Structure 1
Amino acid sequence: MAISSAALDGDEETPMSDINTTPLVDVMLVLLIIFLIAIPVVLETVPVRLPEVQYEPTITKPENVNLSVRGSDGGGCEVYWGLTQVNSEELLDRAVSKLEEAIEAAGGVENITEENMPEAHIRGDIDTPYKCIGGAIFTMQRAGFARVGFISEPPAGTTVARR
């Protein structure tokens, strides 16, 4: 390793106190090139169109099933059919018998349409764990409900036109 020195007016040589910036510039240019190549790769995403959320009033039919789901203190789940608390097996049994009643009232499976088929409407507490909501959805679909929806509250200050 060598030290550069510069001669002043006399014969004495003094060391230079200037910093050699060439290695620093080289490192910065390499980092700049790496970031210019890496950033577009990180920012690329799959183009998707997200749905526009619109609150529509729910038309409640007497044959629809209203479920309320919330988490319990012990990490479990509480599911209510109307105002009656049910466990997973009772929920499945009630849902199957509800569909059997609907099929019988329609005059058989061949007469079932989307209009006369009951729906399941789930009201979930805001602090409910997803496993509770997912379990209720799975149980209702397992019973045969084709349409399972969520009841939500529109944001404050919005009005919904009734049809």
Structure 2
Amino acid sequence: MSFGRTSLGSGASGGRSTGGGGQRPMSDINVTPLVDVMLVLLVIFIITAPLMASSIRLDLPRTEGGKTGDVPKSVSVAVDAKGQVFVNDQPVTDDQLSERLAGAAAASRETEVQLRADQTVPYGRIVVLMGIANKAGLGRIGFVTEAPPTPSAR
């Protein structure tokens, strides 16, 4: 038995035949297209994530009509130009408003707050009143406006 050295091939690469040019085949993965696709997906998710997080609560109409005698309960809240709040035409403070709205919510959670405000009232004041109504348990708020004047027929 002889243990000798055997030649597995020619060349300096230990027996690997590389063809006529002597270049090794490229075995690296090109990740540039992968990075491009991932960046596009990242941008899409960054843009769409805030849109998915917003939740606008809509009370859409139903297909069946309501009964003629079925009038929804409502509480009228008005704010004059000075910021004074009135509930059913009686002046109240914010604490009294909270108590009255909590009482209305205890009677029925479907009670709607009909909010009428002078156009000079700051938006922040309206947001505070909406927060009071929401904290009292009333989530249905309607904004009452006037119809624009119609041109007279001549």
TM-score by length of structure 1 reads 0.46
The TM-score normalised by the length of structure 2 is 0.49
Higher relative contact order structure (alpha carbons within 8 Å, sequence separation ≥ 6): 1
Larger Rg: 2
